[in-house]
Chain A
Amino acid sequence: MTERQAFSSDTGSDKELDRALTDVLRSSPLDSQALERIRVAVEKEWRTSTTLHRRSRAIRRWGWASLAAAVLVIAVTTAWFTKFAGEPVVFGSISRSDGNGVDVHHVGDLLRAGDTVRAHGPMLVLLAAGGSVRIAADSTVDITSATEIRLERGKIYVDLPPVPAASARLNVWTHAGMVEHVGTGFEVLSDDTSVRIRVREGRIRLRAVPGAAGNSNVILAAAGTELLAVSGDGIVRRQVPTYGSDWLWVANLAPTYEIEGQPLLNFLQWVSRELGRRLEFSDPEARDIAARTILHGSIRDHDPLDALANVLATTSLRYEILGDAIRVNSDR
């Protein structure tokens, strides 16, 4: 009997069938890390839902004596449920807004699919699944789903964790096509005639609308690349620095970094990322000090460069900006 015949006839035996089904069905398509990411997201949603339900039940227990007050609270709660139940998963929340009260959305507001954000001033949105979207003044963004937005006009910067959860993916639609991140920080600018994408970290994939990118409809761009799509002129690629004045608006909208209890080294890495400059140590001692120093206090209301100056002033380390690098020296 040849090997192949044996393989074929094996499929008939009960024992082989049991083994084949067990082998295949017991192997999980998701690893434990993926399941843990799912658990965290689902548990968060469950806690939010059950808290709201419990509040509602407690209100009903107040009894006749508090009926008038209860009716009012139930009405408010019902309005809340009517507004949010059945709507898609929360996209994110507004953490900062400098629209001088003109914007429809304000700090603390939750954003969901179907919402349109018209930012008159700079706005920071923290994503429910991790990461942030920074929106420049005079921009309009449609949130089409938990993982997709459309930049109608203006400028945004998308910053996602280096290893994002599946739910933390974010695709940005523009009139030149769809920008998909491949673990990255990138800026997208859109106006009536052009779309400009600048990749600061990681990579992006642009799925261009037919005709916009010549024969290729999918374009990959790595950190330090700019793609400029001008209506009717195709897409031009060029190199751009990941630091400097063009990126200051992004640094100025950085989410607050809590330094309390953090090693100085973590803080320096955060500053380096926010400024788009490499972190260098002049000597091993400087790195060692950074790793051993634990910070206390707050840098709230400081942009990353101010925070760097203020924090290092309290240590024995100094820094200098050298082109694309922040160089940290021990003060000897």
Chain B
Amino acid sequence: MYESDRALVVRMGAGDQRAFDEFFHSSAPRLAAFAARRSGLDAASVEDIVQNTLVKAVRNLGSYRGEAALFTWLTEICRHELADVYRKAARRPDHTSLDELSSASPQAQLRVPAQHEPTAQVETEMRRSAVVRALQALPERYSLALEAKYRDGFSVDEIAHSLGLTSTAAQSLLARAREAFRERWRKGNDDEIMADDGHD
């Protein structure tokens, strides 16, 4: 049982403002990261998804029984939201026109063409993309463990708590996750270099 999460939810149900603040600050940024890295959606869509997820969560707090970590429960709601977005996107016409292209985001329009960017910036972006791709390719449990460690700065015990594991199991999971990430990351970089060489 996740007593501390359950207690937080009970306090929220009683109208405790501090409990709400704790809930929001501990979950909203993590959920945003969760949604962004699993979907590749733009910031506005991620904002929608996080908001809808949390709104549904607070409306249904009574159904949280502490059988899983609160964040795990939230990610379940978030997955439904993401699936909903994909369903809607699939129903939309997939044609684009010049009109549509002209409405692309200002950032996209103002972006300096890649060939004019300083090499260092291009390289930083390449590194970043490689990391994101490698993370996206990992099994869910691995990426959750890495996010908890590197994004949230959780200790092994805290990761164990949030994923419902013993500390030893969390330690092993983290080690496997790092190795799996390393492998995919390295492979992604090698592929990119080969593709680049092919174009030279």
Cα distance, A34 to B20, chains bound together (Å): 18
> What is the chain B residue whose CB lies nearest that of A148?
B88
Cα distance, A210 to B52, chains bound together (Å): 31
Q: Is A218 an interface residue (CB 8 A)?
A: yes
Q: Is the CB of A25 within 8 A of B13?
A: no
Q: Is B186 an interface residue (CB 8 A)?
A: yes
Q: Is the CB of B123 within 8 A of A7?
A: yes
> What is the chain B residue whose CB lies nearest that of A182?
B103
Q: Tell me whether A216 and B97 are in contact in the complex, defined as CB-CB below 8 angstroms, given that A11-B186, A41-B55 are known contacts.
A: yes
Number of A-B contacts (CB under 8 A): 153
Q: Is A331 an interface residue (CB 8 A)?
A: no
- Range class of the B interface residue count: 35 or more
Q: Tell me whether A38 and B103 are in contact in the complex, defined as CB-CB below 8 angstroms, given that A29-B43, A30-B47 are known contacts.
A: no
User: In chain B, residues 108-163, which have Cβ atoms closer than 8 Å to a Cβ of chain A?
Assistant: 123, 127-128, 130-132, 135, 146-147, 149-151
Q: Is the CB of B127 within 8 A of A20?
A: yes
Cβ-defined partner of B58 (8 Å) among A7, A46, A147: A46
Q: For B35, what are the chain A residues with a Cβ–Cβ distance below 8 Å? A: 29
Q: Is the CB of A30 within 8 A of B50?
A: yes
Cα distance, A219 to B99, chains bound together (Å): 6
Q: Is the CB of B186 within 8 A of A218?
A: no
Stretch in A49-57, A61-69, A92-100, A264-272 touching the partner = A49-57
Cβ-defined partner of B28 (8 Å) among A35, A85, A169: A35
Q: Is the CB of B55 within 8 A of A45?
A: yes
Separation in Å of the B48 CB from the closest CB of chain A?
5
Q: Is the CB of A53 within 8 A of B51?
A: no
Cα distance, A264 to B103, chains bound together (Å): 36
Q: Is B170 an interface residue (CB 8 A)?
A: no
User: In chain A, residues 8-67, which have Cβ atoms closer than 8 Å to a Cβ of chain B?
Assistant: 8, 11-12, 17-18, 20-26, 28-31, 34-35, 37-39, 41-43, 45-47, 49-51, 53-54
Separation in Å of the A10 CB from the closest CB of chain B?
9
Cβ-defined partner of B97 (8 Å) among A23, A26, A147, A218: A218
Q: Tell me whether A24 and B132 are in contact in the complex, defined as CB-CB below 8 angstroms, given that A4-B193, A18-B150, A49-B59 are known contacts.
A: yes
What mask results when residues 48 to 65 of chain B are scored 1 for a CB within 8 Å of chain A, else 0?
101110111011111000
Q: Is the CB of A38 within 8 A of B28?
A: yes
Q: For A30, what are the chain B residues with a Cβ–Cβ distance below 8 Å? A: 29, 32, 43, 46-47, 50
Q: Is A102 an interface residue (CB 8 A)?
A: no
Cα distance, A88 to B181, chains bound together (Å): 38
Cα distance, A219 to B97, chains bound together (Å): 8
Q: For A17, what are the chain B residues with a Cβ–Cβ distance below 8 Å? A: 178, 181-182, 185
Q: Is A89 an interface residue (CB 8 A)?
A: yes
Cα distance, A182 to B100, chains bound together (Å): 12
Q: Is the CB of A25 within 8 A of B47?
A: no
Cα distance, A210 to B44, chains bound together (Å): 27
Q: For A28, what are the chain B residues with a Cβ–Cβ distance below 8 Å? A: 29, 32-33
Q: Is A78 an interface residue (CB 8 A)?
A: no
Cβ-defined partner of A166 (8 Å) among B28, B48, B135: B48
Q: For A46, what are the chain B residues with a Cβ–Cβ distance below 8 Å? A: 12, 20, 58
Cα distance, A21 to B182, chains bound together (Å): 10
Q: Is B92 an interface residue (CB 8 A)?
A: yes
Q: Is A220 an interface residue (CB 8 A)?
A: yes
Q: For B24, what are the chain A residues with a Cβ–Cβ distance below 8 Å? A: 39, 42-43
Q: Is the CB of A50 within 8 A of B14?
A: yes
Q: Is the CB of A20 within 8 A of B32?
A: no
Q: For B123, what are the chain A residues with a Cβ–Cβ distance below 8 Å? A: 7
Q: Tell me whether A11 and B185 are in contact in the complex, defined as CB-CB below 8 angstroms, given that A24-B132, A29-B32, A30-B47 are known contacts.
A: yes
Separation in Å of the B44 CB from the closest CB of chain A?
5
Q: Is A150 an interface residue (CB 8 A)?
A: no
Cα distance, A37 to B32, chains bound together (Å): 13
Cα distance, A243 to B151, chains bound together (Å): 52
Q: Is the CB of B58 within 8 A of A26?
A: no
Q: Is the CB of B147 within 8 A of A216?
A: no
Q: Is B198 an interface residue (CB 8 A)?
A: no
Q: Is B199 an interface residue (CB 8 A)?
A: no
Q: Which of B32, B51, B190 has the most CB of A within 10 A?
A: B51
Q: Tell me whether A35 and B29 are in contact in the complex, defined as CB-CB below 8 angstroms, given that A30-B46, A89-B52, A219-B99 are known contacts.
A: yes
6 new A-B contacts at CB < 8 Å, known A46-B20, A50-B15, A217-B95: A20-B131, A29-B43, A42-B28, A166-B44, A218-B96, A220-B103
- Using a CB–CB cutoff of 8 Å, the interface residues on chain A facing chain B are 4, 7-8, 11-12, 17-18, 20-26, 28-31, 34-35, 37-39, 41-43, 45-47, 49-51, 53-54, 85-86, 89, 146-147, 165-167, 169, 178, 182, 203, 205, 207, 209-210, 215-220
Closest 6 CB pairs of A and B: A29-B36, A25-B151, A216-B97, A166-B47, A218-B100, A217-B95
